[in-house]
A and B are shown apart, each in its own frame.
Chain A
Amino acid sequence: MADSQVAGRSITELKDPLRPRFSWFTDRWIAISFLTPTMALLVFITVFPLVWSLYLSFTDWSVIRDANTAPTWIGTQNYADLLMNRRTWERFVVTGQFVVPSVTIELVLGFGIAMLLNRKFNGRGVIMTMLLIPMMLSPIVVALFWRFMMQGEGVLNYYVVNLFGSDPVLWLTDRWVAPWSLVLVDVWMWTPFMMLISLAGLSAVPKYLYEAAAVDRASGWFRFRHITLPMVAPLLLIAVIFRTMDAYKLFDQALVLTGGGPGRFTQTASLYLYDLAFGQFRTGEASALGYIMLIVIIALANLFIRALNSIKATE
């Protein structure tokens, strides 16, 4: 063919504008090389251990006791033991008692604050960044300091006693108060996240819709219900999904704050799992519980995603 080259490509290629510049072949190569490292990591570090864990869940292996022996297969006994045991269900109830109030309060509070911030005023940028700090702290630090403040003679009780004249509150050791203390700390830490997402959604609502409502003399309630809420709802739902998944998984804060106590009144499923695995070293049984937890959250997530899709479908 022609000898002359332009920019390293033969002149015949350049002459034909319809011929795609990018050959299917090199693109395929690029796609593969872009995807492989990520998928390799994901598969290796998540799928592989999961499969292993699944296997373990059918054994009575203990990482301490049986470190050098092969696991003994016991079939579904672990699952049966767990599911029959009332204690297991109690753990899930405790988890629910934590997740539902936390996420609900975070949603309402975060959205409310976002509505407050959704206007121009001096110092908005600084205030917003300040309000995001709780989210940025290490959960351990947060838990440790709330524990400090919630001590019998800590700051909180100082005001409870001196300002309100009542007895000191047993924030972390009273069986009725302790679960709510957990909720309080989680709300403190994660409301900013809901606020951020809500703010993003609110700022995307076109201003002229509100103006039309003003011309039509719409009430504040109408504006909220028919303009704000429908437009922000999908984004909020996604935030709720993420936050629910995370609250369900919650572990480090609870461990530091109450360790599951008093007794077992704040022992969520995650904490129970930790205890089984690294407290009692019943590895096989712990794996089984882990899988039960996984199935629960996948089912929940599915429900949420379906709700999300049905909302999106009506638009």
Chain B
Amino acid sequence: MAEVRLKNVTKRFGGAVVAVSELNLDIADGEFLVLLGPSGCGKTTTLRMVAGLERATTGEIFIGERSVNDLEPGDRDIAFVFQFYALYPHLTVWDNISFPLRAQNLSSSEVAQRVQQVAKQLRIEHILKRRPNHLPSGEQQRVALGRAMVRQPQVFLMDEPLTNLDASLRADMRVELKHLQQELGTTMLYVTHDQIEAMSMSHRIAVMHLGVLQQVDTPLDIYNNPRTLFVAKFIGSPPMNTLDCHAEGNRLRGLTGDFEVTLSAEYAHWLRNTPEVVFGIRAEDIRLLDAGAADVDTQGVVTVREPLGDETVYRVDVGEHHLMVKTSPRQVFRAGENVGLAFNHERIHLFDRATGQVV
């Protein structure tokens, strides 16, 4: 059980490529924190630096009270679950799981007891004598987990462990992992590019992009209050609708001239300083009304309708822009129909077009 702290951590490869830039991140003891971002954003590099598989170019990393920059991975009291499981191919599952304990001078009965306990927790007792190569990926992954758990480390580090599983297995494992972490109470640092995993499992999410930390917040906060344009567009399915606009007073005009929305008066104050903005609104915060209805913010034409069963997603063209709208399945609009769009003004997001930061 320990907290993990990264202070001003930078990682440069070969002098030119900056993988991680000035990262400051504190992970509380017992927290499940997900490092989320597209490939190449630096999340895996960060994880590997905490593990000791990469050395930070500058900055300090603390696990618990110790600064671990100069410690070998084996000395940091961490466990690492690899994307491709990294199970020793010619040892049995039992040997794979018991192996990390060999360095710890435990009696063989204690080792056996721990392995059995872990095997029971992960329901892999029946395969203890088998070799990893012949196992299906779900079970291989559990063995990898077992090997990590048996050490009873201070921190668990996981590198996209669910990516190689098929969808239904992934869904089950998400629940199991979350459960497991709650039971064990160990600090967990988890890397993924899948936002569903991030949203469902974590206490907090740290979104990274091009080596820079974008935002660290609870899942709901990330969703409802994205602080950068990148975060706003990365989280949410379908992605947030964004339109480049120019502001006049408290009116926003789309740059191609065919989109206009009037915001409430308070906005005028901020918009005077940053008139070039990006207007963002999520698909579920738009209501579709009949074309002639009152109280609409703008008009558009339905082009695509995707009935998903529990909700329907429409693609609505407003001039040159395409907006995705989520409605309840009871509302039905046909392709080609003119509709009015009403925005939930409490859920509008504005971003400075130059910096991407929220206004």
Q: State the main secondary structure of chain A at its contact with B.
A: helix
How many contacts A-B (CB < 8 Å)? Answer: 57
Of the candidates A215, A230, A231, which one forms a contact with B80 in the assembled complex, judged by CB atoms under 8 Å apart?
A215
Of the candidates B73, B84, B89, B90, which one forms a contact with A215 in the assembled complex, judged by CB atoms under 8 Å apart?
B73
A215 to B88, CA, bound (A): 13
Q: Does residue A82 face the partner (Cβ distance < 8 Å to B)?
A: no
Of the candidates A211, A214, A218, which one forms a contact with B99 in the assembled complex, judged by CB atoms under 8 Å apart?
A218
Q: How far is the CB of B202 from chain A (nearest CB, A)?
A: 23
B76's nearest neighbour on chain A, judged by CB, is A215
Q: Which of B83, B90, B103 has the most CB of A within 10 A?
A: B90
- On whether A226 and B88 interact (CB within 8 A), knowing A211-B53, A214-B74, A217-B103, the answer reads yes
Enumerate chain A residues within 8 angstroms of B89, measured Cβ to Cβ. 209, 230-231, 315
Q: How far is the CB of A98 from chain B (nearest CB, A)?
A: 34
Are the CB atoms of A206 and B84 closer together than 8 Å? yes
Are the CB atoms of A211 and B86 closer together than 8 Å? yes
Enumerate chain B residues within 8 angstroms of A226, measured Cβ to Cβ. 88, 90-91
Within 8 A of B (CB), among A194-243: 206, 208-209, 211-218, 226-227, 230-231
Enumerate chain B residues within 8 angstroms of A208, measured Cβ to Cβ. 82-84, 86
Q: Which of A208, A212, A231 has the most CB of B within 10 A?
A: A212
Q: Does residue B20 face the partner (Cβ distance < 8 Å to A)?
A: no
Are the CB atoms of A209 and B88 closer together than 8 Å? yes
User: Please, what's the 1-or-0 string for A258-280, where 1 marks a CB less than 8 Å from any CB in chain B?
Assistant: 00000000000000000000000
Are the CB atoms of A215 and B99 closer together than 8 Å? no
A315 to B132, CA, bound (A): 10
Within 8 A of A (CB), among B76-96: 78-80, 82-84, 86-91
Enumerate chain A residues within 8 angstroms of B133, measured Cβ to Cβ. 315
Enumerate chain B residues within 8 angstroms of A212, measured Cβ to Cβ. 80, 82, 86-88
A210's nearest neighbour on chain B, judged by CB, is B86
Enumerate chain B residues within 8 angstroms of A215, measured Cβ to Cβ. 51-53, 73-74, 78-80, 100
Are the CB atoms of A217 and B91 closer together than 8 Å? no
A310 to B91, CA, bound (A): 17
B interface, how many residues as a size bin? 20 to 34
Interface size on A, residues (CB 8 A): 16
Q: Does residue B110 face the partner (Cβ distance < 8 Å to A)?
A: no
Q: How far is the CB of A222 from chain B (nearest CB, A)?
A: 8
Q: Does residue B306 face the partner (Cβ distance < 8 Å to A)?
A: no
Q: Does residue B72 face the partner (Cβ distance < 8 Å to A)?
A: yes
A213 to B100, CA, bound (A): 9
Enumerate chain A residues within 8 angstroms of B73, measured Cβ to Cβ. 211, 214-215, 217
Enumerate chain B residues within 8 angstroms of A230, measured Cβ to Cβ. 89-90
Enumerate chain B residues within 8 angstroms of A211, measured Cβ to Cβ. 53, 73, 80, 82, 86
A214 to B72, CA, bound (A): 8
Q: How far is the CB of B111 from chain A (nearest CB, A)?
A: 14
B157's nearest neighbour on chain A, judged by CB, is A215
A212 to B51, CA, bound (A): 11
A208 to B84, CA, bound (A): 8
Enumerate chain A residues within 8 angstroms of B88, measured Cβ to Cβ. 209, 212-213, 226-227
A214's nearest neighbour on chain B, judged by CB, is B73
Enumerate chain B residues within 8 angstroms of A214, measured Cβ to Cβ. 52-53, 72-74
Of the candidates B72, B75, B86, which one forms a contact with A209 in the assembled complex, judged by CB atoms under 8 Å apart?
B86
Enumerate chain B residues within 8 angstroms of A209, measured Cβ to Cβ. 86, 88-89
A218 to B83, CA, bound (A): 20
Enumerate chain B residues within 8 angstroms of A227, measured Cβ to Cβ. 88
A218 to B102, CA, bound (A): 9
Q: How far is the CB of A237 from chain B (nearest CB, A)?
A: 15
Q: How far is the CB of B74 from chain A (nearest CB, A)?
A: 3
B75's nearest neighbour on chain A, judged by CB, is A217
Within 8 A of A (CB), among B32-78: 51-53, 72-75, 78
Enumerate chain A residues within 8 angstroms of B78, measured Cβ to Cβ. 215
B144's nearest neighbour on chain A, judged by CB, is A212
A315 to B89, CA, bound (A): 8
A211 to B192, CA, bound (A): 19
B133's nearest neighbour on chain A, judged by CB, is A315
Q: How far is the CB of A204 from chain B (nearest CB, A)?
A: 13
A231 to B83, CA, bound (A): 20
Enumerate chain A residues within 8 angstroms of B52, measured Cβ to Cβ. 214-215
Enumerate chain A residues within 8 angstroms of B82, measured Cβ to Cβ. 208, 211-212
A227 to B90, CA, bound (A): 8
A88 to B79, CA, bound (A): 63
A206 to B89, CA, bound (A): 11
A230 to B84, CA, bound (A): 18
- On whether A216 and B53 interact (CB within 8 A), knowing A206-B84, A209-B88, A211-B86, the answer reads no
A214 to B83, CA, bound (A): 16
Q: Which of B83, B84, B99 has the most CB of A within 10 A?
A: B99
Enumerate chain B residues within 8 angstroms of A213, measured Cβ to Cβ. 88
Are the CB atoms of B84 and A217 closer together than 8 Å? no
A114 to B57, CA, bound (A): 30
Q: Which of A213, A214, A216, A217 has the most CB of B within 10 A?
A: A216
A216's nearest neighbour on chain B, judged by CB, is B100
A227 to B86, CA, bound (A): 10
Enumerate chain B residues within 8 angstroms of A231, measured Cβ to Cβ. 89
In the assembled complex, 17 residue pairs joining A and B whose CB atoms fall closer than 8 Å, in A order, are A208-B86, A209-B88, A211-B53, A211-B80, A211-B86, A214-B52, A214-B73, A215-B73, A215-B74, A216-B99, A216-B100, A216-B147, A217-B72, A217-B74, A230-B89, A231-B89, A315-B133
| Additional 20 contacts, C-beta under 8 A, given A218-B74, A315-B89 | A206-B84, A209-B88, A211-B53, A211-B86, A212-B80, A213-B88, A214-B53, A214-B73, A214-B74, A215-B51, A215-B52, A215-B74, A215-B100, A216-B99, A216-B147, A226-B88, A226-B90, A230-B89, A230-B90, A231-B89
A residues near B (Cβ < 8 Å) are 206, 208-209, 211-218, 226-227, 230-231, 315
